[in-house]
Structure 1
């Protein structure tokens, strides 16, 4: 700890957090969750359990005159066997909405994942202290965005002036659910994920329920959306259903209806935007499942391939083309009696021409520049004049 300041320690409570649906108290610190406890009891696999604990869109928010802030954390570092080392997660400090500092935890718990064997191993690590100094002594609103892809235990928050929780502001709350692309895979920073970019441009308070590998129309996720206060809701569906080869066309339509029915039980008139998948060449017309490209991994690169057979679509296997057509049909059908339901074609966010300019580096996930492009386009199409998120404005 830096002893040059007279520190005030403030307990990390739900009142200081935005973007989390639950806060778990552990022996080592508090852990923000993006699914409530009831939903977590029903999680069927380690992938979603890991993804929902990664605090994409979660930030500590408070008002203070502090010139220095320290945050003690235990970050979970992921190592993928055979893949290149992952960069450390980034913590971003914003003052009155403007970036004022970045930091990373170099050490922490370590989770080793073997994607080919389907095994994981967790090793405990140390607490790291993040420091942000040189802030003005004026009263200001401070937000610390946690790493979008690195599970983070919050151990202690210290400042050299008192901290006050911010009252709810006048911004609309936008709740978004989607896949690893919405979660932020391959984005460089937590404010650089496409939902964070779109929320900033649309002046919205973000709740990001993008879960890597896990946008699978799970009923417990629909119930979490149903039970969460939100002014605007979007649901991006498709890529995970293809790359896990989870269901066939016969099950897909009723599952979408059921998911939307549950959301509507809690939000009967909230603007609800259904978003189809962005362009992804390996799965446009080829079903899943996806698998790591073992040849690329031997060369130290992470890439994915589609292992299905295009001929299997005749038997009901899903591709991105099939999903876009079915989602558009479902929204057309439902919107006849639901005037606040809308559809956005993911190809309008990132299409074939975009892929020619900014290809997906691992054949599944966008790079940082593409996240910014998708976020800007979503903001224009959803929050812009005449967009679905201006419904009732």
Structure 2
């Protein structure tokens, strides 16, 4: 920790953090949560607990004339048994909305995950420090986007000039929920996830509730969406339901209706966009569950396989093709009484041709280039006329 008296230590408070629904005071500092405590109390799933503390879309945002910034954090690194080491999480620096640097924090705690057995082991560690220098010597907006895939406790913020919260710029708030693809799996950095890219192009404030492995139509997630102020809302539904082999077609349609009904309780007229799954050859016509590809792991790479049987569709098992058809029907029927409800086919964001050009590295998640393409297409399809978010003042 830097103790140079020339540095100013600014208390880490909620008015300096954007994109989190709740901040938990820990022995080290502040832990951003993307689901509120009430929601977390209703589900003991360790996958959800890990996903919602990984701060995708969460950033420190402040106004300052500082030319140097230091941030102490305590990251939790993930290690998958038998898989190649994961790189340290990336912090993106934006100055007046433009990319101005990247950094990482080494060390920290370690969560070891054995995908073959489902067991985990947590080894505590110590905080580390990232530093950005050479910033313009003028008043400016500064944002530090936290690693989208690395649980991060905020410990201390130091600068060489005073810091103030960013003023309200009057930008619309876009609230998005989805799976690990929305969370940002395999994106290069936190501003490189497809929702972050789309938000930057559209000039909106992002709250990203993309929850890896956990977009499962949970009622507590619907209530979190219901209770979060927003000008625009989107929900990307489907892939995790197949991954988990969670429900059959009979349960799926009522669950979608209930999820949308709950959101509408708090946002009766807010533009609400339902997005179906992007192309994923594993599960286009083959149900789940999705399991680790142990052959891939043995060769030192991450991979997945579909463990279902296409014949099981007859008994109501879900595939991505079935889900797209059902979501389109549900939205079409509801839209007669809900004109601000829209539907976007995920294949328009990433389809079979895209998969041939930019294949999913592990068979399930888009890589960095595909994230960029999806974000740019979403910005065009949703935020420009005649897109559903284009006409919102």
The answer to whether TM tops 0.5 is: yes
Aligned equivalent of 1:28: 28
Aligned equivalent of 2:251: 251
**In structure 1, how many angstroms separate the alpha carbons of the residues matched to 2:71 and 2:162?**
15
Aligned equivalent of 1:211: 211
What TM-score do the two structures reach when normalised by structure 1? 0.99
Report if aligned partners of 1:271, 1:391 keep a CA contact under 8 Å in 2: no
Alignment of 1:1-393 (within 5 A): 1=1, 6-393=6-393
After TM superposition, give the deviation of residue 391 of structure 1 in Å. Answer: 3.5
**In structure 1, how many angstroms separate the alpha carbons of the residues matched to 2:303 and 2:135?**
42
**In structure 2, how many angstroms separate the alpha carbons of the residues matched to 1:360 and 1:166?**
38
Report if aligned partners of 1:30, 1:153 keep a CA contact under 8 Å in 2: yes
Provide the alpha-carbon RMSD of the alignment: 0.9
**In structure 1, how many angstroms separate the alpha carbons of the residues matched to 2:20 and 2:391?**
26
After TM superposition, give the deviation of residue 233 of structure 1 in Å. Answer: 0.2
Deviations 1:304-338 (CA, angstroms, capped at 9, x unpaired): 00000000000000000000000000000100000
**In structure 1, how many angstroms separate the alpha carbons of the residues matched to 2:212 and 2:42?**
17
Deviations 1:165-207 (CA, angstroms, capped at 9, x unpaired): 1122211000000000000000010000000000001101000
Moved more, 3-12 or 200-209: 3-12
After TM superposition, give the deviation of residue 224 of structure 1 in Å. Answer: 0.4
Report if aligned partners of 2:385, 2:391 keep a CA contact under 8 Å in 1: no
After TM superposition, give the deviation of residue 392 of structure 1 in Å. Answer: 3.8
**In structure 2, how many angstroms separate the alpha carbons of the residues matched to 1:122 and 1:139?**
42
**In structure 2, how many angstroms separate the alpha carbons of the residues matched to 1:6 and 1:259?**
52
Deviations 1:337-357 (CA, angstroms, capped at 9, x unpaired): 000000000000000010111
Report if aligned partners of 1:340, 1:391 keep a CA contact under 8 Å in 2: no
Q: What is the number of equivalent residue pairs in this alignment?
A: 393
**In structure 2, how many angstroms separate the alpha carbons of the residues matched to 1:172 and 1:5?**
39
Q: Which runs of 4+ in 1 moved over 6 A?
A: none
After TM superposition, give the deviation of residue 99 of structure 1 in Å. Answer: 1.2
| SS of aligned partner of 1:325 | helix
- Structure 1 regions of 5+ residues with no counterpart? none
**In structure 1, how many angstroms separate the alpha carbons of the residues matched to 2:204 and 2:151?**
24
| SS of aligned partner of 1:149 | coil
After TM superposition, give the deviation of residue 116 of structure 1 in Å. Answer: 1.0
Report if aligned partners of 2:215, 2:241 keep a CA contact under 8 Å in 1: yes
Report if aligned partners of 2:113, 2:120 keep a CA contact under 8 Å in 1: yes
Report if aligned partners of 1:286, 1:310 keep a CA contact under 8 Å in 2: yes
Deviations 1:144-163 (CA, angstroms, capped at 9, x unpaired): 00000000000000111110
| SS of aligned partner of 1:82 | coil
What TM-score do the two structures reach when normalised by structure 2? 0.99
After TM superposition, give the deviation of residue 3 of structure 1 in Å. Answer: 6.1
**In structure 2, how many angstroms separate the alpha carbons of the residues matched to 1:225 and 1:12?**
25
After TM superposition, give the deviation of residue 39 of structure 1 in Å. Answer: 0.7
**In structure 2, how many angstroms separate the alpha carbons of the residues matched to 1:172 and 1:193?**
19
- Structure 2 regions of 5+ residues with no counterpart? none
